[in-house]
Amino acid sequence: MLNLGPYPRLRGKTDFELVTFSALVPVLSIATGETLLLLVKHADLIINKTTSEHRVSHVMPMLVRAYDDGDPRIQEEALRKSLFLAKQLDMQLLQFMRKSSDKANDPLQRHIVYSFRDHPSNWIIKNFLYPNQ
C-alpha cells in the first residue's frame, strides 16, 4: 500500500494537507512508471483527504498524464480513479473553472472545462469510456 504518512486513514484532512500532501505535490507532477501506477492506484486516498481545488490543480493533471502513459495498467487505473474523482468534484468549482477558462490561452484547458457540462462524469464517460460515440 502507498505510504501516505503514519496512520493515513486516521490522520485528519488538515494534517494530511499540511504535511503529507504538500510533500506529495512535486511527486504528483513528475512521477512516471511504477511510481505513477502506485499514485494512481491509491488516488482515492489522496482525493478523499484534499480540497476540490487541490484535486483539480494536482490530482486531475496526474490522471491526465496517466492517460497518456504507454502502460495500459496505468491507463486502466486512471480511468477507474477518474470516475471516483468526478463524483468528488464540486460543481461550483467547475463553474468557476468555466468562467476562468474564457481568459485562458490554452485551448486544451478551455476544451476540458467546457466539456464537463452537467457533471464531470459525463466528460469522462464521453471522452474515455466511449470516445467514438
Q: What local confidence, expressed as pLDDT, does residue 106 receive? A: 57
Q: What local confidence, expressed as pLDDT, does residue 15 receive? A: 74
64-123, pLDDT tens digit by residue? 888 888 898 998 888 888 877 877 776 655 555 555 555 555 555 555 555 554 455 555
Q: Where are the domains of the chain?
A: 13-129
Model confidence, pTM? 0.61
* Rounded-to-integer distance, Cα 56 and Cα 42, Å: 16
14-47, pLDDT tens digit by residue? 777 777 888 899 999 899 999 999 999 999 888 8
Q: Which amino acid is present at 119?
A: H
DSSP symbols for 20-65:
IIHHHHHHHHH--HHHHHHHHHTHHHHHHTS-HHHIIIIIHHHHHH
Q: Which three cell numbers stand for residue 93?
A: 468549482
Q: Which three cell numbers stand for residue 120?
A: 464531470
Contacts with 102 (C-beta within 8 Å, 6 or more apart), sequence order: 110
Q: What local confidence, expressed as pLDDT, does residue 132 receive? A: 58
**DSSP code at position 118:** T
